[in-house]
Amino acid sequence: MPRPLSIGLLLVAAGPMAACSTAPLLSSSSPGTPSPSAVVRNSGSPVSSPRPSPPADFPVFPGASPAPLPADDTGVAARWTTGIPGSAAYDFYQHELPKAGYRIVGLFPGGGGAVIRFTAADVSWQVEIIGVNDRTQVSLRADRP
């Protein structure tokens, strides 16, 4: 390939990437839904959004201990760990969320993890249940796709 043509192709290919790197990335969420994502400005440094507050009457799995919240994911409102297998936590939330007045909108059981999507006062939430080493981690987070 002649040299001028290869340089031209590089410039054409780099054009769209350069445009993407200077445009701010914005997240959108529906009204009433806390936004779990951060906004990235031109500098590339994230500006975190406020962490959502969990509903006051949210049921906590019996025997679960509070766990640190992730610094890089402000969509997580609360987190607990337990030594009891995740299937017990999944069953607990499947039955206790409706009893507490929440409407379940999706049940997604899985081998290594599970998600229960629900609404509270027209705000969408998720309970994520995953195995971490020999523990079960339960996270309450703002809903996300």
CA 16 to CA 85: how far, in whole Å?
48
Q: Is 0.85 topped by the overall pTM?
A: no
Let me know the angle formed at the C-alpha of 51 by 114 and 135, rounded to the nearest 5 degrees: 35
Tens digits of residue pLDDT in 76-100: 999 999 999 889 999 999 999 999 9
**Rounded CA gap, 33 and 98, in Å?**
20
Give pLDDT, residue 122: 82
Residue range 12-67, pLDDT digits in tens: 333 333 333 333 322 333 333 333 333 333 334 445 568 999 987 899 999 999 99
